[in-house]
Amino acid sequence: MDRRSRRNYFWVYVICAYIALTGIVLGDPSTILDGFIAIYYDNAVLITDYVGLAGISAAFLNVALVTFFSAVLLRINNVPMHGRSLFTLGLMAGFACFGKNIYTMWPIIFGSFLLSAVCKVRFRKYLISGLLATSLGPLVGVAYLSDGGGLLGWTYAIIVGSAIGFILPLLAAHTNGVLRGLNLYNGGFAVGLMALVFVPIMQDLGFSFETQGYWATGYNGRFSIWLYITAIGFIIAGKIADPDHAFENYRNILKRPGVAKDDFTELDGMGAVLVNMGVNTIICTTYLLLIGGDFNGATMGGIFTIIGFSANGKHAKNISIIILGIFLGSLVNPSATPTTHGVQMGTFLGTTLAPMAGTYGLPGGILSGVFHSFAILKISQSYAGANLYNNGFCGGIISVMFYPVCNKFFKTNTYSEPSPSMRKERTRSSKNTISGKLIAAAEEKKEEYMKESMKETK
C-alpha cells in the first residue's frame, strides 16, 4: 500500500475519534447505553433519525463505530484509501446517522465475503460493494426483530443479509455501465432494484415494515456551529497537507464534470480534496440555515455523504446546481415545500446527480434536480422505505431518463486533465519504478542518437 494511502487511513481514524468526541461534548454520555438499546430494537425503516431515536451521544458514537470498522475492513484487506474508499466511508458515516448501525451491517458484509469465497477471489474485490449494500440494513433489522431480537430472528437476519451481500456486488457491476457515471450512487441504484424484489417477498412471508419514524428538532445552533468549525478545519488541513498547490488544484476540481471516474485524490491531490470538503460543508450548512431547515441525524447524514464524495465527484459548482433544482422543484410541488422532511434529506442526498450538472451545465442540472425532487417522495413507497439509498435509486432513474435528452441538446463537459502538480508527481513516481527507469533510459538513448545523427548530418 502506498504512503499516501497509509497517511489517509491515519486521518480517517482521527476523524472517527473526532466524531465520537463530538457526541460526548454536544450530547449526554449517560444516554449512550439506552440509546444503543433503542437503536437495536428499531428496524430503521425511513425516516429513522438516530439523534431523535437515541440522542446525540449514541447517534454520533454509532457513526464513529460504523465508519471505524468499515475503515479497518478496508485496511486489513489492503484497499487503497483513495477516492472510492473515501466516498464509501462518507456513505457509511452519513447513513449511520439515520439507518445503518453496528448491528445490521455484519450479515450483509458476511454475504459479500461468501461471494468472494465461492468465486475464489480476494475479499477486497467485493468489499466496497458489500459495504454499500448495508443500505438494506432495515431488511436485516426487520428480520431479527420478527422474533423480538432473539435467536430465530437472527437466523432470519443472517439469511436475508447474506443473500443481499452475495448478490449486490454482481448486480452493481452490471448496473454501473447503464448509468454512464452520471449517478454517483451506483450502489444505491442496484440496491433499489434488490429492494423492489426482496421487500414484497418478505412482506408476503409475514415480516412487518411498519415504523414509528423519528425526526429531531431543536439542534440547529450547536450542529450548525460544529459544521462550520469542521469545515474550516478541513480547509486548514488541506492547506497544511499541500501548502503550495491546495487552492490552485481546488480551482481545477471546479472544472471537472464530477462523473464517477473522477477521483479527485489522484487528479488533484488530498490537499485540494480537503479544501473541497470544507467548502461543500459550508454550502450545505448555509443552505439549511437559509431555508429554516432542521439540523439532525437525517440532514447531517446527507452532509456527511457530500463530504465523502468531495473526494470523488462532488464540488461546489455541480452540487449547487442540483440543490437549486431540487429547491425549485419543491416550490412548484403542491404536496411539498423545501422544509418537507423528505425534501430536506433529498436536497443533499440528491447531489448523487452532481455529474448531470457538471457534465451538462445549468440546464441539465436544474432539469435533473426538479424531477428528482418529485421522485424521492413517491418511489420509496414502492419498497416500504427499506432502502436507505432511496436517492441513489431515484437518481439512477433520472440519469438514465435524461441522459439522451441532455446529450442531444446540451453542451458536454469532458474535462479530465490532472492538475499540473499532480502530473509532475506522477512523472517523478514513474521514474522510480523499474518500468519508468527503462522508459527514461530509452528516452535518454533516443536523445543521444538524435544528437549524433545531427552531428553526422553537419
Cα–Cα distance, 323 to 352 (Å, whole number): 11
Does 25 map to a domain? Answer: yes
Which of these three, 149, 172, 204, is where a domain ends? 204
- What sign does the dihedral 95-97-99-103 (CA atoms) show? positive
pLDDT on residue 431: 54
Please tell me whether residues 265 and 194 are part of one structural domain.
Answer: no
pLDDT on residue 448: 56
pLDDT on residue 312: 95
Report yes or no: 413 and 358 within 8 Å, Cβ to Cβ: yes
Please tell me whether residues 197 and 224 are part of one structural domain.
Answer: no
Please tell me whether residues 372 and 451 are part of one structural domain.
Answer: no
Please tell me whether residues 227 and 356 are part of one structural domain.
Answer: yes
Please tell me whether residues 237 and 198 are part of one structural domain.
Answer: no
Threshold 0.85, pTM exceeds? yes
CB-based burial of residue 118 (10 Å sphere; 0-12 exposed, 13-18 middle, 19+ buried)?
exposed
Measured between alpha carbons, how far is residue 31 from residues 62, 83, 439 in Å? 13, 35, 62
Which of these three, 142, 171, 204, is where a domain ends? 204
pLDDT on residue 7: 87
* Type and span of the H or E element at 372: helix 354-379
Which residue is associated with the grid cell 424484489? 197
Please tell me whether residues 441 and 398 are part of one structural domain.
Answer: no
pLDDT on residue 189: 94
Please tell me whether residues 182 and 82 are part of one structural domain.
Answer: yes
pLDDT on residue 452: 56
How many structural domains is the chain composed of?
A: 3
Q: State phi, psi for 214 to the nearest 5 degrees.
A: -140, 140
Cα–Cα distance, 216 to 218 (Å, whole number): 7
Domain that holds residue 388: 220-409
Does 213 map to a domain? Answer: no
Residue 181 cell numbers, joined: 457515471
Does 417 map to a domain? Answer: no
Name 48's bridge partners.
214
Please tell me whether residues 168 and 225 are part of one structural domain.
Answer: no
pLDDT on residue 441: 53
Cα–Cα distance, 65 to 52 (Å, whole number): 19
Number of Cβ within 10 Å of residue 361's Cβ equals 19
Please tell me whether residues 57 and 190 are part of one structural domain.
Answer: yes
Report yes or no: 107 and 157 within 8 Å, Cβ to Cβ: yes
Collapsing DSSP states into helix, strand and coil, what is residue 196?
A: helix
Please tell me whether residues 66 and 118 are part of one structural domain.
Answer: yes
Which of these three, 180, 204, 228, is where a domain ends? 204
Please tell me whether residues 178 and 305 are part of one structural domain.
Answer: no
Cα–Cα distance, 116 to 164 (Å, whole number): 14
Cα–chain-centroid distance for residue 203? Answer: 29
Amino acid at the residue 128: I
Does 214 map to a domain? Answer: no
pLDDT per residue rounded down to tens, the chain (458 residues):
778 888 889 989 999 999 999 999 999 999 999 999 999 999 999 999 999 999 999 999 999 999 999 999 999 999 999 999 999 999 999 999 999 999 999 999 999 999 999 999 999 999 999 999 999 999 999 999 999 999 999 999 999 999 999 999 999 998 888 898 999 999 999 999 999 999 999 999 999 999 889 999 999 999 999 999 999 999 999 999 999 999 999 999 999 999 999 999 999 999 999 999 999 999 999 999 999 999 999 999 999 999 999 999 999 999 999 999 999 999 999 999 999 999 999 999 999 999 999 999 999 999 999 999 999 999 998 999 999 999 999 999 999 999 999 999 999 999 999 999 998 776 666 555 554 555 445 545 545 544 555 554 44
pLDDT on residue 444: 55
Please tell me whether residues 92 and 192 are part of one structural domain.
Answer: yes
